């Protein structure tokens, strides 16, 4: 015989599964779009415009997710989903920029970059690993990489703080006695 907790547990598991599926689908879409966009025919001004517009979309996405997390019945699950959607978008924005920069000036980086190399380089910069196998060589490439490093710090510092704060607000909204 089912208890009152069984339907809730089943609903919780279903919500977690749906959030995981949405996150995986969004990652697959972002990476697929990255590999199929016609980036090798892009001009410098277009690459910069796409990066700036993409970062604006990224900021709007974070703002949307912060509000959605605070209102969600499962704020922790929603926060994980938000990170799973936001981080790949952020990484692909910079990978696209590096790929285009390399196409426009082969001397931009220490080695020629294909899309996978650009993605790899972006992840090593984001994670602060910096193996050194790929490095920015031109002033323009160094400026963009520096911009990514600063944006990484802002994202990690401010973005994560906003998301964690939204989880706390969402949990307090669900259970006001949690503050006591």
pLDDT digits (tens, 9 = 90+) for 132-152: 899 999 998 999 999 999 999
Q: If pLDDT is split at 50, 70 and 90, which confidence band does 7 have?
A: low
Is position 7 within any domain?
no
Domain that holds residue 47: 40-174
Residue 137 sits in a domain whose CATH number is 1.10.287.70
Q: What is the mean pLDDT of residues 153-165?
A: 84
Is position 98 within any domain?
yes
Cβ atoms of 148 and 125 closer than 8 Å: yes
Is position 121 within any domain?
yes
Is position 26 within any domain?
no
Question: What is the total count of domains within the chain?
Answer: 1
Q: Is 3 left (phi over 0), alpha (psi -120 to 50) or beta?
A: beta
Residue-wise pLDDT tens digits, 23-67: 999 999 999 999 998 887 777 777 778 888 888 998 898 899 889
Can you state the angle between helices 115-126 and 5-36, rounded to 10 degrees? 130
Task: Classify 132 as helix, strand or coil.
Answer: coil
């Amino acid at each position: 015989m089912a208890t009152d907790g069984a339907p809730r547990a089943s609903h919780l598991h279903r919500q977690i599964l749906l959030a995981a599926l949405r996150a995986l689908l969004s990652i697959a879409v972002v990476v697929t779009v990255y590999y199929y966009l016609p980036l090798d025919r892009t001009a410098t001004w277009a690459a910069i415009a796409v990066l700036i517009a993409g970062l604006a979309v990224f900021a709007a996405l974070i703002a949307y997710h912060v509000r959605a997390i605070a209102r969600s019945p499962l704020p922790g699950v929603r926060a994980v989903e938000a990170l799973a959607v936001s981080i790949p978008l952020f990484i692909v924005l910079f990978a696209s920029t590096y790929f285009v920069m390399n196409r426009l000036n082969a001397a931009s980086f220490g080695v020629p970059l294909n899309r996978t190399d650009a993605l790899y380089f972006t992840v090593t910069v984001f994670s602060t690993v910096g193996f050194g196998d790929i490095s920015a060589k031109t002033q323009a490439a160094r400026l963009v990489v520096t911009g990514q490093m600063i944006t990484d710090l802002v994202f990690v510092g401010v973005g994560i703080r906003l998301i964690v704060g939204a989880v706390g607000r969402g949990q307090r909204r669900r259970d006001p006695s949690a503050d006591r």
